[in-house]
Structure 1
Amino acid sequence: MASVLAVCVVRTLRPDSGRSGVTAIDKGPVDGRVKVNDYGLYADVQADRKHHGGLDKAVYVYAQEDIDFWAAELGRDIPFGFFGENLRTEGIDVNGARVGERWSIGSEVIVEVTSPRIPCQTFSRWMGDDGDGWVKRFAQERRPGPYLRVVTRGSIGVGDEINVLEVPADAPTIRSLAI
């Protein structure tokens, strides 16, 4: 069964040397249920809304299976929210999801897969790399995680079941669109 392991929102805006001067990548898990609206999770923000957030990038999802890969590669634990994800999942191949695929999360929320995460320099700096080594490494593994559009608002929480409702057969997968 696919499910939500963690629901994460920004803990604090942090200074960043990028264009916006701050980053909201520092996300952490919250207790209880969290409201989800068209622009994402209640109490979450995006510092650079041109590239993150908005209607088509309202929620970012990353799978525990991919985190386990990175934890082994990097030789460290990767806590919930550390990759900037809003939802940490298990039991669903988020990178095999097709653009336009719809999921129900819990009993209320319906989302639609829109695009893969494009790793950026902020993510690289967050990982301790001032160059583009992390961006290239992350992209080459083709484990970007998808952004989701909110189709039906509601609330979500840890343990909510994720069900695939519909899959457009001819649409590209998140993995195939990863750069």
Structure 2
Amino acid sequence: MTSARVVGVSRDGEHRFSKEPEEAIRLVAGLGVEGDAHFGATVQHLSRVRRDPSQPNLRQVHLIHRELFDEVTAEVGPGQLGENITTEGVDLLGLPRGTRLSVGDAAVVELTGLRNPCVQIDRFRPGLLKQVVATDEDGAVVRKAGVMAVVIAGGVVRPGDRIEVLLPDPPREALAPV
């Protein structure tokens, strides 16, 4: 995983599906991406705010692997699926909960779970939901639309920044939707 890197960074101050590509984003410890609609210590996802606004925000940063774009038939690019950081060379979906990613010179995020995509993804590109949520040969649901994380250490993140994977101590827990 030594070639792991950031290929795109995005944010949006409104609750829209896609996020605008940026030259750089600033991660703030315990809060998320400065200037993004999901910035905050407590839940910011609108449906979760309606249920219980006091819950901790486990979805401060959304990461997607660029390799997903090669798997889907829709033409998509960084930020279009709502992610803040688009990665390359990291098997995000195969990492355990609690994995820390050191990104760039200072930022560190900790993976909290899988993104659970909803019907909005089909509104963006019809048929895309079936391509990012599937079932395996055992009938288990496989979610491919990225992972969620919290910010442990803040810093500026830019395309081209390196990513270092820091696995948690065993026993390790598989990622589940958050």
**Cα deviations by residue, 1:74-132 (Å, 9 ceiling, x for unpaired):** 2x421211111111100100001110111100111111000100111223322236xxx
Measure the CA separation in 2 of the matches of 1:56 and 1:170: 21
Name the structure 2 match of 1:28: 20
Name the structure 2 match of 1:68: 70
1:113 and 2:111 correspond? yes
Measure the CA separation in 2 of the matches of 1:54 and 1:63: 25
Name the structure 2 match of 1:104: 102
Contact map agreement 1:99 1:168 (CA 8 A) in 2: no
Letter paired with 1:105: V
Pick one of 109, 133, 158 that aligns with 1:139.
133
> Deviation of residue 27 (structure 1)?
0.8
TM-score, with normalisation over the residues of structure 1? 0.77
Q: Which runs of 5+ in 1 are unaligned?
A: 14-22
TM-score, with normalisation over the residues of structure 2? 0.77
1:45 and 2:53 correspond? no
Letter paired with 1:139: V
Contact map agreement 2:69 2:77 (CA 8 A) in 1: no
Measure the CA separation in 2 of the matches of 1:169 and 1:77: 39
Name the structure 2 match of 1:20: none
**Superposition pairs of residues 7-26 of structure 1, within 5 angstroms:** 7-10=9-12, 13=14, 23-26=15-18
Measure the CA separation in 1 of the matches of 2:80 and 2:18: 6
> Deviation of residue 137 (structure 1)?
4.4
> Deviation of residue 26 (structure 1)?
1.8
Contact map agreement 2:9 2:22 (CA 8 A) in 1: yes
Pick one of 60, 71, 74 that aligns with 1:58.
60
Q: State the secondary structure of the residue aligned to 2:110.
A: strand
Measure the CA separation in 1 of the matches of 2:133 and 2:113: 14
- Once superposed, which parts of structure 1, at least 4 consecutive aligned residues long, lie more than 6 Å away? none
Contact map agreement 2:116 2:143 (CA 8 A) in 1: no
More helix by share: 1
Give the length in aligned residue pairs.
Answer: 158
Bigger drift between 89-98 and 119-128 goes to 119-128
RMSD: 2.5
